[in-house]
Structure 1
């Protein structure tokens, strides 16, 4: 270790150090002056009543957008319809033909071979490719039309049928991936390979937080789930700064790992410790200019705040009985899908921007009717309750709810076919998702598949299009939200995607 005199002498004889000091001076200037990044961040925290003080009911959209306070990235690019989102991800690939895509003509085609003209050279999985025949399997579920929109829903989803006039069905969804892990990764990050930022991380990076005491992006996974494994890369930040990664909340007494104080430690000096650590990291930043140092400090500070905020927000015991009854009996059991739906609503109320629910178990290669019934019992009531709950609180108008999996299922049976049972293989070229709430048309169905629910014959929507549309609802132009990494500018939609304007109000 050199003393202070030696350090000054070394600095005076080293041009690189002198240049670093000049850069440090510029950074300090920006931090100290009223025109610096700190002032921009502060302005972003001002309430809407201040931001729109000069806006009147007669103001044009252009005048409103001009009054809207944009952040350091110049976002939003246009007026957002959505302030927050709950993404109900159904891992495994729900069977669209047994839930929402009614195909009555298949009844008379039971057991017949799926024509080659329908397959059209599409890729099959190794499981289907090994079969000698591909027998058509009509759904065993009964379908009816519901609501003023007359949407078709099977009897597997009795609760969801009550809210169809709030839903916007996308029946022509398509993806590039036919196997679970790359397809889930593709749906969550826009790329089949792990390591890219997830949707929630992009929104966190682009739009920032609405709450100082909770993460912008939180993931919840149904407990005791069986099926394809899920991993943290699905809600990871990829190459974005680490403070934008999703934080997983778990069931049990410790919702966030390593957040609780160690045994016999009262935490009274933690604030002093963080302040001193922040000082040390400021010195490190001044020397090296590595932004990840400050990103890590932001995480430390957030963890400190979460020690008091997380126990409060994860305690649902104060919810009235009629709310638990609406979400179903499982809503009292922490970590279930129903409890996580209720938790998601609470998190939104506290200012969390993106809540991602993951529910496993929709991978029905065998015993599809029984598997669909089982998963519907676990999810149907709570999903419908979430829509109703948000609506009755006036939150649905600026909250986007998304439901769907990574791909769909085949019309033909995988394995043995009987009148009461069949299995369905993966199918990436035609499946159904739905959205509800902020900025999407309620009681609306978009897209159409052929009589076999195998090919999209009208209004296809690719995963990249879905991502572009989701960002658009938040006021973000998907082509402009980019991040430079290893010499290239990346975005959620890669070099693809377009906004599906027909879905929007």
Structure 2
């Protein structure tokens, strides 16, 4: 006779893989008594955005080479920098784009065609000058503790609009800790579902497969019988123990994964997309194929009701060989990002889809070696498009060389508060009680950048 543990182990190899992965071990408190914790919820106030696509540029793209035009840096090229080293002008020319005249570099010519849809936040700041800490703070608001990610908070606050798919998907997630898409002490069902790695999206075909989403041995009816037995065991255990971290998350994730068997592969099969659409994303081959497929899947996910999708691209960490490697990185993602923006506009989805672009920090105006830049967390650029933000707008500024933010400083807490606000969520009211305290994404900080809201 099989033990409960053996049944769980065997079952999870089929329908449980994607949604269950990593959930059982999370420090999840008991979920609410609602039948479906992922059910769509009303925001605190009228929302400008219904969903988010976060284009995460891992490694720290250089703001002074992309979206933060610094003519004085070019004039002072070769002079001594504020904190040592020699000032390094950008190898790329900046031009005014669109009717708005936003200055954007030649690194992103395709994205620049959508300048009138962008709000450039040129005064970003975070507390961490190193990749792991800054990446964690960008995703969770803190680098010191394990906290729920931005996507998990969004899903917790709003729920999802498709009960057969995860509410939060991380495509090619950031390297390092799973906390970047985890739920921490929030119920485990709000954790992001990890899908694929970058190399797999470029291995031919028209879509990324999801391993173990189907059970190769049991029919759907047999799986349902098996799942009912497992869920009976789980509920009995939950009834015996008033507090058991993760058990309710396991129950919900198994049910979701069972439904995902049909919905997920169908959604990730892009063979029904037109050739023109695939080409618009650059998903037909070459250096843009991998990220192009991911951006296309991001659109398909949000169109199907997924609340939060993160797509990661990198590595942008050019301490050397900046003039070559930054160009390579930009060429791989410029056309796919522009394709995503164009596709969303064509489908009338950009107005209520918030698209975010940015890395964990920027890079120094002074050179590192002869052709590189070091980390800079005191002033850098991110941008937003759609979802209720102004188009063709620049917010905040760094100093004349781009060392640090000096006008309308936007700390990562302010960034999070603004994103939640656009989703109709008050960052001070979106709380979860844990260990005797009401926690929130922005901790005790955060101010909404109301100037960027249309």
TM-score (norm 2): 0.86
Q: Aligned partners of 2:434, 2:222: CA distance in 1, in Å?
A: 39
Q: Deviations over 1:360-418 (max 9, x none)?
A: 21001001111110001100000011011000100001100000000010000001x2x
Alignment partner, residue 89 of structure 1 = 56
Q: Aligned partners of 1:482, 1:259: CA distance in 2, in Å?
A: 33
Counterpart contact for 2:283–2:290, Cα < 8 Å: no
* More moved, 394-403 vs 279-288: 279-288
Structure 2 residues not aligned, in runs of 5+: 1-31, 202-206
Alignment partner, residue 315 of structure 1 = 269
Alignment partner, residue 389 of structure 2 = 440
What are the within-5 Å matches in structure 2 for residues 47-446 of structure 1?
71=41, 75-115=42-82, 119=83, 133-193=84-144, 195-221=146-172, 229-250=175-196, 251=200, 255-262=209-216, 264-290=217-243, 292-330=246-284, 336-415=290-369, 417=370, 422-446=371-395
Displacement, 1:296? 1.0
* More moved, 448-457 vs 177-186: 448-457
Count of residues paired in the alignment: 414
Q: 1:367 to 1:37 in 2, by over 3 A?
A: closer
Counterpart contact for 2:288–2:335, Cα < 8 Å: no
Q: Aligned partners of 1:144, 1:333: CA distance in 2, in Å?
A: 25
Q: Aligned partners of 1:274, 1:349: CA distance in 2, in Å?
A: 29
Q: Aligned partners of 1:361, 1:179: CA distance in 2, in Å?
A: 14
* More moved, 90-99 vs 447-456: 447-456
Q: Aligned partners of 2:113, 2:238: CA distance in 1, in Å?
A: 55
Alignment partner, residue 64 of structure 1 = none
Q: Aligned partners of 1:247, 1:386: CA distance in 2, in Å?
A: 21
Q: 1:448 to 1:254 in 2, by over 3 A?
A: closer
Q: 1:339 to 1:332 in 2, by over 3 A?
A: farther
Aligned partner of residue 355 in structure 2, secondary structure: strand
Aligned partner of residue 269 in structure 1, secondary structure: helix
Aligned partner of residue 109 in structure 2, secondary structure: coil
Displacement, 1:214? 0.1
Alignment partner, residue 464 of structure 1 = 413
Structure having the higher Rg: 1
Aligned partner of residue 311 in structure 2, secondary structure: strand
Counterpart contact for 1:194–1:233, Cα < 8 Å: no
Counterpart contact for 1:331–1:339, Cα < 8 Å: no
Q: Aligned partners of 1:483, 1:256: CA distance in 2, in Å?
A: 32
Q: Deviations over 1:323-344 (max 9, x none)?
A: 1111114569998111100000
Displacement, 1:302? 0.7
Displacement, 1:278? 2.2
Structure 1 residues not aligned, in runs of 5+: 1-30, 46-70, 120-132, 223-227
Alignment partner, residue 55 of structure 1 = none
Aligned partner of residue 282 in structure 1, secondary structure: helix
